[in-house]
Structure 1
Amino acid sequence: MAQGRNRLLTASVWGSCALLGAVLVQFVTGWGSGSSAGVINNLAYLPAVVLTAVLGLRLILAGGLDQRERRAWILLEVSFVCQVVAHVASLIQKPGYPAFSDYLYAGAIPFVVAGLLLLPAAHRNRAERVKLLIDSLIIVAGACMTLWYLEIGPLLQTPGADPEVIIFSTAVPVLDLLLLFALITLLLRRSETGAAVALLGGSMAFKVVADSTYTIAYVQFGVYFRPGDWPYLLWAAGAVLTLLAVHRRLRQNGPAPAERPGRGRLGWLPYGAVALASGLLAFVAREQSLYPLGGMIIGAIVITALVIARQMYAQRENRRLAVTDPLTGLSNRALIAERLAEVTRQPLRADRHSAVLLIDLDRFKPINDAYGHEAGDAVLKAVAAALRAVIRSGDTAGRLGGDEFAVVLPALPTRAAAEGIAQRLVDALRTPVIFGDALLSIEASIGVAFRDETTLDTEQLLAHADAAMYAVKRSGRGHFRVYTPELDTRARDAELRRAVAGDELVVHFQPVVSLTGGGGMSVEALVRWNHPTRGLLMPGAFIDLAEETGAVIPIGEWVLRDACRQVAGWRAANPAAESVWLNVNLSARQVTQPALVETIREILAETGFPADRLVLELTESVILQPDEQTVARLNTLREMGIGISVDDFGTGYAALSYLRSLPVTVLKIDRSFVTGIDTDPDTYAVAEAIVRLAQAYKLHVVAEGIETAEQARCLVEMGCGYGQGYHFARPMPGPALAELLESRRVLS
């Protein structure tokens, strides 16, 4: 229904515009004469101006406008209504000038001026507002000089003219000057609040030109335009643009989009106005002698031109200094932001690709620390030289700050071109920098992001490049990488947290058995992600990211709760499961949480799982340098009866002394020390030494990664009590492990 109404409305708008085409027909063919031409002209206007007023009222009543913009459209609506009444009056009034309709046309202008000035614009400080006002007044002053000479002055000197005619005729160009002031202010604000404002500005420009040429032609040349002549065509075009502006704004259905900073392409307008005024002055003085008046006028024009040239040069220099990094001579952050804004505003094309490269120097801080900031500055200058040597003439290279750089690559023929530039930069930045007697070696990590449907603004484009750059740093540094959604840590972090909330995680269990044939068994809880599109993911696909972003905390809590709940269920259903120990991994981030102990206590109370059957497995990074709070938390957990295990022992740098000072009960030997113990005597000796060490500290020893019976036999010889690996069982879902326990009970 709504779609049908929108189509009908659009058809009505374009139908009204088509009716105004009668003015174009009059202009081309000369159709109609005398009073009939005026009637045809006014009848052609009526549908368009009535529909403009109706749509303007609908826009105001529909809501969705902020307070300032609503006030602007209310004022514009008053002018629309005046236009409707004026066109109706022109059909029924008697001939004469100025007529009632003329007063209505003129009375609408102040409301248009006020409405244009109230339209939304970005916030500006006081200095910017003063500059905008001065620029607008310069242009209006130039126009005022022209209109005074060509219109107002001659009108005031008309002998024997009716005073009412003189007053009204001079009032129209004055009102047009006000309209010009509002229009120029709108243009100089570089507002990009949408096509509606651009259409409205175009409409007012047509009106100013038509009004001025109509009066100038009559005053200066005695030419009187009638309906069907070209000024009437401009007025009709203005009415069409006004109708389209209101219709376009109504279709936006919400607040006007925020203004984006422009590059001041209309900044020449004040100088154009000065040139116009100077040209007019020279024209008026063309018949004067060079001495004394003519020479003074020419000198004033020359001096004004020189002042303008100096001002423009100063502005260019100020602009250059404002957007240049003083150390490297590259663009600074402000200009890079401008170039990126231009890139994101451009429409997407299949044959044109734009990209941004974010560059971060590797091992730059040690150079500053070892050789001083002068050496660091030398490196930064060398990097700037390398960037200039590699990029194209139309590209922009800049320093964002510190040792971070960016390159904006617009309008590339292919994506491979950006990757080629990135690789050349990687190679160029590997060249050592000579500083005194030192040879300073650096590399760079580069993230590449392309402008596409997902990069709607500068922030998103930079965020994508930043994600790609940090992926390079995580994977070894010194190369480049192109952004893919999988690298977006923020998006993946949000996805991980949604997975926890949406029960997409599952827990599998792997048995830990006694190698000596004794009773009792442990199970280690291992998390999996049942991704809705990528299938079942192993921990290696997401745990590192979860550690980096902090999502591992809610994941760890979920795993502990679900594992305790499942094993508690086994214990209730199967008496043989009462002796089963549950091993759950505890991340380094979880250990640092002040509420860790309370969280574990609540989970045990909620699930009914006994604390003395729970073992928490810690990585060596926690054991290496535990602070007082960490030691206190681990001691509290141990006092609750919970076992503490060191996981993957031997892969990190754990100090042996901490095995005595921390409440550790179990030591798990990493699989790398198990592989090869049945074939390599040296590997056997190392594994045996670890087992003896654990025994010396009175710790239970678990060997991971056992895949053959021979490996298990060797571990028994060493005195290792427990083993875990594919030789005994692979990780399996909870129900499968519950069946395994049930089968063991039946067999026993």
Structure 2
Amino acid sequence: MGRWAWRTFAVVGLLASVLYTLNVSVIVSDACLAVTGIGTVWACFWGPRRHGARPPGAWRLIGVVALLFLVGVMVRPVVTDLAMPLPLIADAITIPAYLLLCVFIAVLLRCRRSLDRHAVLDALIVWLGGALFSFLILAEPAAAIHDRPAAESFMAGLYPLCDITVLLLMINLTFTARTWPVSLLSFIGALIFVTIGDTAYAIVGLQGQIYGSPMLNVPFLIGYTLMGVTALHPSAVELSHAARPPVQAWSVRRVMLLVPALAAPFALLLVTGGTPAHRWIIATGGVLIVTTLLVRAISAVRAQASAQRAAEHQARHDPLTGLPNRRAISAEIERRLGRGEVWVFLLDLDGFKWVNDSWGHDTGDQIVIEAARRLRATMPESVPVARVGGDEFLLAYAGGRNEALSLADEIRGCFARPFPVRDTEIPITASIGISHAKDDGGSAALTAEALMRDADTAMYRAKAEGPGRSTIFDTSMHDEVRARIELEVALRQALAEGQLYVAYQPIVRLSTGEPLGAEALVRWLHPERGQIPPSVFIPVAESAGLIGTLGTWVRREALRQLGVWRRDGTVADDFYLSINVSAQQFSEPEMPLVVASELVEFGVPAPVVALEMTESVMVDGSSVTGRVLYELREMGVKLLIDDFGTGFSALGYLRRFPVTGVKIDRSFVTGLGADAEDEEIVRAVVAMSTAMGLSVIAEGVETRLQRDSLAAVGVTNGQGWLWGPAVPATEFAVHWHASGTAALAGRPEPT
């Protein structure tokens, strides 16, 4: 009903207004007036409450206003011809309605934060012009009628002033409106028609009459209808929403309203300026209007200057922390260059991405704000602190090397205490890159941007060395950056030109050396540089945003090869392929669908595919990552934890996610047979995995002693150079063909 209520009400109200205008009969006219008025009162009480318009008390107030207006209109014809003071009953009912209406509009203005100084001054100018006109043209002549009581004349002159006051508030409402919903338009229309009706009564009052004709009520009927539409329309809830637009000194719409008000004194001089009293009134009103206009002009100039200062501040400061931004500190560094030795510190918060992914960006913002507060509170005033990125801060210092290194220690000290996050505390460290320019004449050509770039390079070197480190830039880092960029370009070219290939390393049963599966590993044979190790190009792929593309290519190539091997009998039906997947790929919601389509495309069943992930996937995993893992497991794909034991290794993560097995990191396998501690760690992993029903694979097995030690503690499957390195598909097929599997016994032990 709510959706169509306002339309139905509008149609009924307009039909009632038309019938009232036709004046078919007194009964019909009274019925139209009663239906429209009662309907408006009902709408003002029912509509806002149904839509949840706020504040509810203010909307109940407008319901009372509608009721008082209705009663006043209905009573006026009845009491008109009665003896005084009974005719004033209608006025005693209606005048309070105007006061309550003004209160309602003022509440709306406050809720909308629309009490704009410029709008108030503009409305005051219009009000002064309108008040001057109303007083001299309507109120003063009405009060001058001698053959009626003074109270009646006073009331007749009071209505125009009430309308002008309502007009003052309405103008302020329109001047500060950013949007124009139906409810706002209809509300303004209702006030306009009520003003027209009052003006008509005021004109009649000039002839000494209180009530002239039922036709004078037509504007009120239309106003009532529009007021009901305001209350019933769903956009009524928007009337109390903050809608203050940016500072607008002048506009065409405002000038169009101000010009008639400014012209009012001159027009009145021509019409009623014959008597000295009228000229004094007009002159006083004109002075007030001009004074208000001057105040308005001065206010506009000041507001414009204030807005300009605010814009300049915003252009040079970070909106989240209030610290200077990159542009501001760059100018400060530029100013200090050539006046002494300048040091630039660029720091990046370690683990910040984990906070954003796990706790949300709002929490991340709070950590950034707290980090900014600590840095600013700790650093001397002479050291500018700026935020230059999401979790990056930059500081500049002029002084010697020892003082600069001491300052770096103070920066690290800002992160000595954990950061409060929700109901816990999280340790956050910062990696710091440091660059400097010496005051020796040789650094004259060094710019602020170059210093900041060098500090950024040093920061990435510090981050690579571990969290919480600091590194001073040296020129050799430029060569590293250049080499890294060249390697990135070459990697993009390799992906496009097919320089990459997939190698396969067997995963075997320890007792027999029989292959159970293989791990697909990407290799890069550069036409000029030869083999480039994965440890070199995988980090480049991650930092360059290529890891997703690379991972997809490896997965598709491996699945294609497995499909070929299964069809030609190279591998047994239960032979599985293990494929590494990056954390980024596990965070893609569509990954299960993509993998499912690839399995169908290459004719590979899900149970013979294992996807490997690092422990960080589970720790940093969002709800999307968890859902992806569960969907992959429901398909039948195996999920393995690679390099188990080097990350967080929390039992809770293994229980929370649907993993099927773990791969013990090679660092624990190396010491088997010689280091009792490594043996105990492996034994504990096996016991835990067995209890949870997880398979166990040992990586990096290179000797028979390691193999035997693994078998002794319960490990059944292994992978490593003892059974051979990762080799291309053709070589793997020759050596590990299902019809003649090569066993360990015939292979020499690596030296």
Considering the TM-score relative to the shorter chain, is it more than 0.5? Answer: no
| TM-score, length of structure 2 as denominator length | 0.44
Name which structure has the greater RCO, CA cutoff 8 Å, separation 6+.
2
